[in-house]
Amino acid sequence: MKKLLTILLVTILCSCKDNTKQLNLTEGVYLSNVTIISTEDGTYRPYIGHLVVEKDGIVYVGKNKPSISGTFEQIDGTGKFIIPGLIDSHVHIPGVQGMLPHHIEKYPELATAFKSQMPKSYLYYGFTTLIDLGGISEELITSFNKQEVKPDLYHVGYSGAAVANGYPMNFTPEEFRFDAVPNFIYMESQAENIPDKYDPADHTPRAVVKRIKNSGAIAVKSYYESGFGRMMGLPVPTKGIMKDLLTEAHSNGLVLTVHANSLEAHSFLVDIGVDIIAHGIWNWGKYKDVPTDSLPLEIKRTLDLQIQKQIGYTPTLTVIEGEKALVDTEFLDQPGLEKVVPKDLLEWYKTEEAQWFAKEIFNELTVEEVHTIYDNVQAHAMLALKYLSDHNGLILFGSDTPSAPTYGNQPGHNGNWELKLMKEAGVPLHKILASATFNNAKAFHLDSSLGSLAIGKKANIIMMAKNPLLDIEAYDAIEKVVIGGKVIKRQDLEVTE
Ligand SMILES: [Zn+2]
């Protein structure tokens, strides 16, 4: 009798463990016989198995065939691959690529077409989660979320925590900049340049982070930028301010991500131990002219510390490429672009009027000179990334779409380009995949619902015809995108005229 009980108990335990219990679905999706590529620890062990979705969540994933009944759509995954939906942890969704407010006013139909296509463009390239790292408004969040199909959107509040008159406030005329950046940090050294109507008590790191938290943000964005190009000598946060922002972010359950792309800025932030740096190191300062195949010791040391402290490193290589694209006459003719950029807008980008930003940043430079400058910076950026990757740094995928008012960083397309550039830099494919899924989810505290294919997680899934662990082209061989349990064919996300 006792033996029988034991056998019975073992059988029950096994069947639970096997997950072969009957799943009765009402709004199900059953992906059968598919290669499942997901990780909970950074190591990939792909296998052919099955995944079941009910409503917006994953209810089964495993090698054994599930026992299901009820209402569900079955998708035969034979020969296909599934991964978790991609997370782009550095985008900016307000605005229209390549346009200033007066262009938008002049061509409202181009702006409308862009905005209604934009969420689909991200999904077209597999990006099911976006983290907006600039300021966002309640109005924009509402209008984005009203779209029928769109990625999940997270943000950092109504503005970043920039120091008064520092980057990126400096771009806005003085009379508007303080209202435009409601979460600016009051700095004693800037007291004379801050209008009296702003109470310093409302602009301490504590007050600012509280406000950011209350706006539904998942992170605090700050900046360390002393300037570049013709814009130099900008005010930067003190160590005290940055440390306070970090402490306040943590006590509010937020992460601190900071804009920095110079050696000076990275070493300042690495020393403090911020959570994430929103760009790679490409402004090498006094090392800017060193050969592109050797990493100066000082940069190596900064990267070593970053690796040791496991500070998130967001390469954003398309920042450089997206500006260089403005002198590339073939850029706008790529077949991948017409899938995600409305035709009339693509045509406008080819006009003289749309070259305003290129004229502004390149001035009198020839195409060759632009290439020489940008290729050198990019080679340095890639070298730093390769080192960080080879030594197990924490790479977070982020495309910074768009990083400037360039038409070179288009929604979705730019993220896809970023994946390819990471590969070009020498990051192995499994690390690229982890950076855009598991690593991002964990770093931004979204891993209870996103970042892997596991029971209880949100059903954001990409089905591909190629294996992303073997071929970078897999990210352009997407067949289906599942967002919150809704299955969408890739071609249904393309631009329609
Ligand atoms: Zn950015």
CATH number at residue 76: 2.30.40.10
Measured in angstroms, how far is the CA atom of residue 168 from the centroid of ligand 1? 10
Measured in angstroms, how far is the CA atom of residue 287 from the centroid of ligand 1? 24
Q: Which residues contact 364 (CB under 8 A, 6 or more apart)?
A: none
Q: pLDDT by residue (tens digit) across 55-110?
A: 999 999 999 999 999 999 999 999 999 999 999 999 999 999 999 999 999 999 99
Measured in angstroms, how far is the CA atom of residue 261 from the centroid of ligand 1? 11
Reply yes or no: is the peptide bond before residue 315 cis, omega within 30 of 0.
no
Percentage of residues in the chain having pLDDT higher than 70:
96
Examine the domain organization and report whether 44 and 143 are in the same domain.
Answer: no
Examine the domain organization and report whether 90 and 72 are in the same domain.
Answer: no
How far is the C-alpha of 172 from the C-alpha of 118, rounded, in Å? Answer: 25
Examine the domain organization and report whether 338 and 368 are in the same domain.
Answer: yes
Q: Any idea what the Cα angle at residue 182 is, between residues 179 and 184, rounded to 5°?
A: 110
Measured in angstroms, how far is the CA atom of residue 400 from the centroid of ligand 1? 5
Within a domain: 359: yes
Examine the domain organization and report whether 235 and 162 are in the same domain.
Answer: yes
- For strands 255-259 and 219-223, give the pairing: parallel
Within a domain: 448: no
pLDDT at 9: 45
Measured in angstroms, how far is the CA atom of residue 74 from the centroid of ligand 1? 40
Token code pair at residue 249 = 């972010």
How far is the C-alpha of 199 from the C-alpha of 196, rounded, in Å? Answer: 7
Measured in angstroms, how far is the CA atom of residue 296 from the centroid of ligand 1? 26
Examine the domain organization and report whether 94 and 80 are in the same domain.
Answer: no
The label of the residue with tokens 């402004």 reads 283
Give the type of residue at 151: P
- Which domain range does residue 38 map to? 2-84+453-493
How far is the C-alpha of 321 from the C-alpha of 382, rounded, in Å? Answer: 12
Q: What is the CATH number of the domain that holds 372?
A: 3.20.20.140
User: Is the predicted pLDDT of residue 16 greater than 60, yes or no?
Assistant: no
Measured in angstroms, how far is the CA atom of residue 89 from the centroid of ligand 1? 10
How far is the C-alpha of 99 from the C-alpha of 68, rounded, in Å? Answer: 51
Instruction: Tell which of 423, 443, 463 closes a domain.
Output: 443
Measured in angstroms, how far is the CA atom of residue 398 from the centroid of ligand 1? 9
User: Is the predicted pLDDT of residue 10 greater than 50, yes or no?
Assistant: no
Examine the domain organization and report whether 277 and 329 are in the same domain.
Answer: yes
Examine the domain organization and report whether 225 and 347 are in the same domain.
Answer: yes
Examine the domain organization and report whether 68 and 161 are in the same domain.
Answer: no
How far is the C-alpha of 474 from the C-alpha of 480, rounded, in Å? Answer: 12
- φ, ψ dihedrals at 473, nearest 5°: -65, -10
Ramachandran assignment for 140, one of left (phi > 0), alpha (psi -120 to 50 degrees), beta (any other): alpha
Q: Which residues contact 493 (CB under 8 A, 6 or more apart)?
A: 120, 121, 123, 124, 149, 481
Integer angstrom CA distances of residue 367 from 289, 326, 471? 20, 10, 32
pLDDT at 262: 97
**Is residue 438 a contact partner of residue 39, using CB atoms and an 8 Å limit?**
yes
Token code pair at residue 80 = 């296909």
How far is the C-alpha of 492 from the C-alpha of 120, rounded, in Å? Answer: 9
Q: pLDDT by residue (tens digit) across 258-311?
A: 999 999 999 999 999 999 999 999 999 999 999 988 899 999 999 999 999 999
Within a domain: 48: yes
Examine the domain organization and report whether 234 and 380 are in the same domain.
Answer: yes
Confidence of residue 20 (pLDDT cuts 50, 70, 90): low
Examine the domain organization and report whether 30 and 119 are in the same domain.
Answer: no
Confidence of residue 232 (pLDDT cuts 50, 70, 90): confident
How far is the C-alpha of 156 from the C-alpha of 146, rounded, in Å? Answer: 20
Within a domain: 231: yes
Measured in angstroms, how far is the CA atom of residue 35 from the centroid of ligand 1? 35
- The packing angle between helices 297-308 and 263-272, to 10°, is 30
Examine the domain organization and report whether 365 and 221 are in the same domain.
Answer: yes
Which candidate, 451, 483, 429, 392, places its Cα nearest to that of 40?
451
Q: How many domains does the chain have?
A: 2
Examine the domain organization and report whether 157 and 9 are in the same domain.
Answer: no
Within a domain: 30: yes
Measured in angstroms, how far is the CA atom of residue 388 from the centroid of ligand 1? 21
Measured in angstroms, how far is the CA atom of residue 404 from the centroid of ligand 1? 8
Measured in angstroms, how far is the CA atom of residue 107 from the centroid of ligand 1? 25
- For strands 478-483 and 461-464, give the pairing: antiparallel
Measured in angstroms, how far is the CA atom of residue 227 from the centroid of ligand 1? 15
Measured in angstroms, how far is the CA atom of residue 221 from the centroid of ligand 1? 10
Within a domain: 41: yes
pLDDT at 231: 81
